[in-house]
């Protein structure tokens, strides 16, 4: 196992753990730059993964690092998307300015939502953000001057300083730049005092407060930063789907974002990206499985005769083609992850890595969760 | 007016389910509305598919969904007690999505009406015609609340439940079977959800998305103070009336969000609600 013996605080604060790690990330970046020449057909889908990555990043800062769980992030995405499209198309502002303003507007809304949140903890905050998201969805439906209501709004191609991005390739790189920038910014924030204050608030509000962390300030900052990231993601999202309608930004989308951070692994930036890849790929995998699974069952049961195989094929086919199946699978995955791998994909990855680096000496108990009696939050 | 009160009663009943579980186990059950949907569907299935009488089907539905609630606690939710609340929220959201998916596969995603003895009957009270469906909801709520109140104050098990909800460890020391008590609480809460679902069914048709009423019941529960049983009902009634007046006097579109606006206001101004008691967290 590579163990780094730290001799100064500066080492603790470095962007990458060591040169070895930095080189791996450089390699990843080169790989992503080269990816379009390998899979030229799926670029628009991969850019959705990047946008989801930004969303995951945003929610990770709030839920994973500051401990404020929001069920209203789809609303921030919607505000960002509509604000950007309104400023860019209806008011004719330059693309980049429109995006910056959209991020600022979303951050402003984030602060407004965050302010009452200072008085709430835990579940109350989740409920409040949920209510906020439902209200925003109604606003998006009825404020027709900006949003064009239920009729929807078509989105033009981005035009940056006279350079029109009309190919999937260009959009891929645009999203990649924003995701890489967002990751870099977030990583830097997290190793600054700001990030440390956020983590302190997550771990214990009371302890953080007694160490001199200004709870109100840092919680509001977390909300504003998270909302701003979501606003940028929303602007890109608008260009990715090319048509905005209020019923895109539902509670279900918020739940998908939460699914992303939980499945990816709470409290790690890797987790946000893993989760984004997972959530973006899941519908594709489900639709592939819908075609494949009946064939497998049919093949397996045709050992008992052709009629049995055909009958089973038809039954399974009918079962998996039912429309309500997909959200159920989402729910099932969520439940399984919470029960069996609360640290998510990243946690599993860490466990596997630790297993190999400690090879014969790995103990399961290393990552065992402590069980405790229920601690009441209603102490009087 | 009666309409608003009846809808408010339903919100109150669903909120009661949240509050019961929250008080006892400190878990917030985001799947409560979906349990209600399941209850309504099970009752519908017995009445229409198997041709059982309304009351028998009602009782069967309560029994089945209560059992399901208890099993759910024993199999899944017991494992996450003591973990961060976030995990529980996600878990119940996931469960709710699974219930909806299951319902749409088992019963189809069409919209059904549940035939009841009260359907389309009205009584003239002076100048106002009162439809029996709404009266049934209000009467059902009152009876249920009376029964629950009696259960919690006058039976051994009810008192044990209160003890377990106040201090889990101390309840263990006193010889209360806390695990069983928690399962029972889930059963009661699922049963209450079923009653709400079946009472609501004739008024608002049964479909897979019936559970989204659960979101408005949140507003009711918060308005009443999250840990308070009378508060849940009072909150439900208030939300029902607010919705009614918002629908009557404010422009279109406000009716649906009124409950959430009230919820946000309450959380911002008085997070402990009307009857709640949340102390500051101690170390």
CATH number at residue B39: 1.10.3470
Cα distance between residue A222 and residue A65, in whole Å: 9
The most confident of A25-29, B155-159, B269-273, by mean pLDDT: A25-29
- Min Cα–Cα distance to chain B from A274, Å: 18
- For range B217-224, the mean pLDDT: 80
Contact A210/B at CB under 8 A: no
Residue B276 included in any domain: no
Q: Which residue of B has its CA nearest to A114?
A: B268
In the predicted structure, residue A2 carries a pLDDT above the cut 80: no
Residue B12 included in any domain: yes
pLDDT of residue B126: 61
- For range A75-84, the mean pLDDT: 92
Residue B278 included in any domain: no
Partners of B162 on chain A (C-beta within 8 Å) are: none
B93/A255 touch (CB, cutoff 8 Å), yes or no = yes
Residue B277 included in any domain: no
By CB atoms closer than 10 A (0-12, 13-18, 19+), residue A364 is exposed
- Min Cα–Cα distance to chain A from B126, Å: 39
The secondary structure of residue B224, as a DSSP letter, is: T
A197 confidence band (pLDDT: 50, 70, 90): very high
Contact A123/B at CB under 8 A: yes
Partners of A258 on chain B (C-beta within 8 Å) are: 90, 93
Instruction: List alpha helices for chain A, DSSP H.
Output: 9-12, 19-38, 43-59, 73-85, 95-117, 122-142, 144-147, 168-190, 193-203, 205-210, 215-241, 251-264, 269-301, 306-320, 325-340, 344-357
Q: By residue range, what is the domain housing residue B146?
A: 2-269
- For range A328-355, the mean pLDDT: 83
Residues 6+ apart with CB under 8 A from A235: A80, A81, A83, A84, A85, A98, A99, A102, A103
Q: Tell me: domain A40-282, CATH 1.10.3470.10, correct?
A: yes
Residue B29 included in any domain: yes
Partners of B168 on chain A (C-beta within 8 Å) are: 373-374
Contact A235/B at CB under 8 A: no
B264/A116 touch (CB, cutoff 8 Å), yes or no = yes
Give tens-digit pLDDT for B7-41: 788 888 888 888 888 777 777 888 888 888 888 88
A324: nearest CB among B101, B222, B282: B101
Q: What is the mean pLDDT of chain A?
A: 82
Probe site for chain A from B86, B224, B259 (most A CB atoms < 10 A): B86
- The CA-atom distances, in angstroms, between A255 and each of A287, A334, B103 are 20, 10, 20
Contact B250/A at CB under 8 A: no
Partners of A326 on chain B (C-beta within 8 Å) are: 101
B272 confidence band (pLDDT: 50, 70, 90): low
Cα distance between residue B155 and residue B170, in whole Å: 19
Contact A301/B at CB under 8 A: no
B121 confidence band (pLDDT: 50, 70, 90): low
User: How many domains does chain B contain in total?
Assistant: 1
Residue B51 included in any domain: yes
B281 confidence band (pLDDT: 50, 70, 90): very low
Domain with CATH 1.10.3470.10 in chain A: 40-282
**In contact, A330 and A256? CB cutoff 8 Å:** yes
């Amino acid at each position: 196992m590579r163990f780094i013996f730290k001799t100064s605080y500066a080492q603790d604060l470095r962007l990458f753990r060591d040169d070895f790690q930095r080189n791996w990330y450089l390699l990843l970046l080169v790989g992503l730059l080269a990816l379009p020449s390998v899979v030229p057909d799926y670029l628009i889908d991969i850019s959705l993964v990047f946008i989801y990555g930004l969303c995951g990043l945003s929610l990770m800062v709030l839920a994973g690092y500051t401990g404020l769980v929001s069920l209203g992030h789809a609303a921030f995405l919607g505000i960002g998307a509509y604000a950007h499209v309104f400023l860019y198309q209806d008011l004719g502002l330059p693309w980049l300015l429109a995006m910056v303003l959209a991020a600022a507007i979303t951050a402003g809304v984030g602060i407004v939502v965050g302010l009452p949140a200072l008085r709430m903890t835990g579940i109350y905050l989740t409920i409040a953000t949920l209510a906020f998201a439902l209200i925003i969805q109604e606003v998006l439906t009825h404020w027709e001057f900006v949003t064009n209501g239920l009729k929807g709004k078509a989105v033009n191609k981005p035009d940056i300083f006279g350079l029109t991005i009309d190919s999937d390739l260009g959009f891929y790189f645009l999203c990649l730049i924003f995701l890489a920038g967002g990751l870099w910014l977030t990583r830097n924030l997290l190793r600054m005092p700001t990030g440390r204050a956020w983590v302190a608030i997550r771990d214990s509000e009371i302890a953080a407060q007694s160490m001199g962390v200004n709870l109100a300030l840092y919680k509001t900052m977390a909300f504003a930063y998270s909302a701003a990231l979501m606003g940028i993601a929303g602007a890109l999202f608008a260009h990715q789907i090319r048509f905005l309608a209020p019923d895109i930004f539902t509670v279900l989308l918020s739940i998908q974002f939460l699914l992303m951070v939980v499945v990816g692994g709470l409290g790690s930036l890797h987790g946000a990206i893993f989760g984004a890849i997972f959530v973006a790929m899941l519908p594709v995998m489900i639709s592939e499985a819908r075609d494949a699974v009946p064939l497998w069952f049919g093949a397996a049961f045709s050992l008992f005769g052709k009629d049995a195989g055909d009958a089973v094929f038809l039954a399974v086919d009918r079962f998996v083609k039912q429309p309500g199946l997909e959200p159920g699978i989402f729910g099932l995955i969520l439940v399984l992850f919470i029960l069996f791998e609360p640290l998510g994909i990243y946690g599993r990855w860490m466990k596997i890595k630790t297993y190999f680096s400690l090879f014969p000496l790995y103990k399961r108990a290393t990552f065992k969760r402590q069980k405790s009696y229920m601690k009441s939050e209603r102490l009087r | 007016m009666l309409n608003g009160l009846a809808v408010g009663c339903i919100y109150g009943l669903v909120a009661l389910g949240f509050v019961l579980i929250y008080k006892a186990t400190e878990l917030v059950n985001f799947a409560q509305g979906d349990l209600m949907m399941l209850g309504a569907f099970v009752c519908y299935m017995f009445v229409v598919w198997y041709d059982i009488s309304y009351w028998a089907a009602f009782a069967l539905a309560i029994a089945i969904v209560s059992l399901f609630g208890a099993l759910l606690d024993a199999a899944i939710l017991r494992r996450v007690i003591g973990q961060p609340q976030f995990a529980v929220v996600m878990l119940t959201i996931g469960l709710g999505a699974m219930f909806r998916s299951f319902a749409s596969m088992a019963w189809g995603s069409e919209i059904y009406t549940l035939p009841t003895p009260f359907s389309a009957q009205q009584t003239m009270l002076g100048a106002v015609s009162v439809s029996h469906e709404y009266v049934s909801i209000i009467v059902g709520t009152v009876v249920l609340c009376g029964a629950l109140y009696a259960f919690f104050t006058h039976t051994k098990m009810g008192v044990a439940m209160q003890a377990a909800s106040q201090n889990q460890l101390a309840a263990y020391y006193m010889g209360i079977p806390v695990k069983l008590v928690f399962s029972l609480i889930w059963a009661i809460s699922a049963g209450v959800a079923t009653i709400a679902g079946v009472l609501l069914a004739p008024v608002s048709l049964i479909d897979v998305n019936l559970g989204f009423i659960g979101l408005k019941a949140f507003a009711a529960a918060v308005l009443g103070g999250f840990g308070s049983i009378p508060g849940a009902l009072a909150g439900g009634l208030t939300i029902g009336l607010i919705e009614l007046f918002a629908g009557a006097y404010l422009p279109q579109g406000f009716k649906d969000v009124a409950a959430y606006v009230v919820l946000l206001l309450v959380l911002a101004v008085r997070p402990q609600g009307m009857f709640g008691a949340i102390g500051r967290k101690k170390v």
